[in-house]
């Protein structure tokens, strides 16, 4: 396997900001949106300035401005974009599937155990319509999965059994997203994630962080109290302006967030207008770590 697509440069340090832009909700209750707060986003109105903060610091401040590297391809029409949906399936996932069908786009869904049981028909539909189902762990409980790499793998194995039980066959591609991303404080940040990434790779999975998105689980970053649609769209534009040249370009959306789903068609139109083609994470063939 080749190395991760980014060298340890100042640019990479700056890229860490991307992970700080998003939190991942713990889906303890689908009706309650919980900010885990493992990452601190850049307020959408603030330019990223200053010194990079430790990635595993939940109170981390915005980091420096990224600079182009040799790993960057500036031409969207020569690159692919990967839509990824976390934490579902949920109430809005069927709408996501409708929109994706309308554009004939395949996406990657990083699902969690309890919602696979709650929305089995949606899960089956994902598989039947050719989308990629990846693991976001069974429990999504940071206290369980980040005890150790072994505990993490155990949870992922349970996810796989749940998926098989619900769909009726092993519909899961070997792609995975760590809850909170690989720089979250519970995994130990960039310095602590190595053993976890190695463990999932040894189990056959590639791990995927993300480049850009709506910031839809980090409402605390909405310092100007914009209406959600405005805040989400501005977050997309800002994260694209910083990280839109990363290759592969991976978009994080939570299909547990209705306003994000409301913006999906607009997002697709924008990415199509930029020249991107859409693909699924199983075709990347490597980890994507920020």
Binding residues vs Zn ion (CB under 5 A): 24, 86-87, 179
Q: Is the peptide bond before 89 cis (omega within 30 degrees of 0)?
A: yes
Q: How far is the CB of 187 from Zn ion (least distance, A)?
A: 13
Contact 41, 23 (CB under 8 A): yes
Q: How far is the CB of 24 from Zn ion (least distance, A)?
A: 3
The vertex-5 CA angle with 185 and 179, nearest 5°, equals: 30
Closest to 176 in 3D by CA, of 149, 215, 212: 149
Give the Cα separation of 182 and 196 in Å (integer).
Answer: 9
Structure tokens at 136: 């976001």
> For Zn ion, which is the closer residue by CB, 14 or 145?
145
> For Zn ion, which is the closer residue by CB, 86 or 279?
86
Sequence-ordered strand ranges (E) for the chain = 80-86, 108-111, 132-135, 172-176, 206-207, 212-213, 249-254, 277-278
Q: How far is the CB of 66 from Zn ion (least distance, A)?
A: 24
Q: How far is the CB of 7 from Zn ion (least distance, A)?
A: 28
Sequence-ordered strand ranges (E) for 243-289 = 249-254, 277-278
Contact 1, 197 (CB under 8 A): no
Closest to 239 in 3D by CA, of 229, 248, 249: 249
> For Zn ion, which is the closer residue by CB, 171 or 176?
176
Closest to 110 in 3D by CA, of 267, 7, 256: 256
Contact 184, 56 (CB under 8 A): yes
> For Zn ion, which is the closer residue by CB, 90 or 276?
90
> For Zn ion, which is the closer residue by CB, 131 or 177?
177
β-pair type (80-86, 132-135) = unpaired
Q: Which residue is nearest to Zn ion (CB)?
A: 24
Q: How far is the CB of 34 from Zn ion (least distance, A)?
A: 10
Length of the chain as a residue count: 290
Q: How far is the CB of 114 from Zn ion (least distance, A)?
A: 12
**H or E, element range at 190:** helix 189-192
> For Zn ion, which is the closer residue by CB, 115 or 240?
115
> For Zn ion, which is the closer residue by CB, 87 or 282?
87
Q: How far is the CB of 55 from Zn ion (least distance, A)?
A: 18
């Amino acid at each position: 396997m080749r190395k991760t697509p980014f060298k340890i440069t100042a640019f990479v340090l700056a890229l860490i900001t991307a992970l700080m832009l998003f939190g991942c909700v713990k889906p303890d209750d689908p009706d309650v949106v919980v900010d885990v707060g493992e990452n601190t986003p850049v307020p959408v109105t603030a330019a990223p300035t200053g010194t990079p903060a430790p990635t595993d610091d939940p109170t981390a401040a915005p980091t420096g401005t990224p600079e182009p590297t040799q790993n960057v391809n500036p031409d969207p029409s020569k690159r692919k974009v990967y839509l990824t949906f976390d934490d579902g399936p949920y109430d809005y996932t069927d709408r996501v599937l409708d929109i994706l069908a309308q554009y004939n786009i395949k996406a990657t869904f990083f699902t969690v155990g309890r919602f696979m049981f709650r929305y089995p028909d949606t899960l089956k539909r994902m598989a039947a319509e050719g989308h990629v189902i990846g693991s976001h762990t069974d429990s999504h409980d940071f206290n369980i999965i980040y005890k150790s790499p072994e505990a993490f793998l155990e949870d992922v194995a349970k996810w796989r059994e749940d998926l098989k039980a619900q769909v009726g066959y092993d519909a899961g591609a070997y792609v995975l997203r760590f809850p909170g991303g690989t720089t979250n404080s519970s995994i130990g940040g960039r310095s602590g994630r190595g053993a976890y990434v190695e463990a999932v790779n040894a189990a056959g999975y590639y791990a995927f962080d993300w480049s850009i998105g709506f910031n839809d689980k980090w409402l605390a970053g909405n310092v100007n109290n914009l209406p959600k649609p405005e805040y989400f769209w501005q977050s997309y534009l800002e994260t694209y302006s910083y990280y839109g040249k990363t290759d592969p370009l991976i978009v994080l959306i939570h299909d547990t967030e209705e306003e994000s789903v409301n913006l999906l068609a607009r997002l697709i139109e924008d990415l199509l207008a930029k020249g991107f083609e859409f693909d699924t994470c199983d075709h990347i063939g490597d980890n994507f770590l920020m």
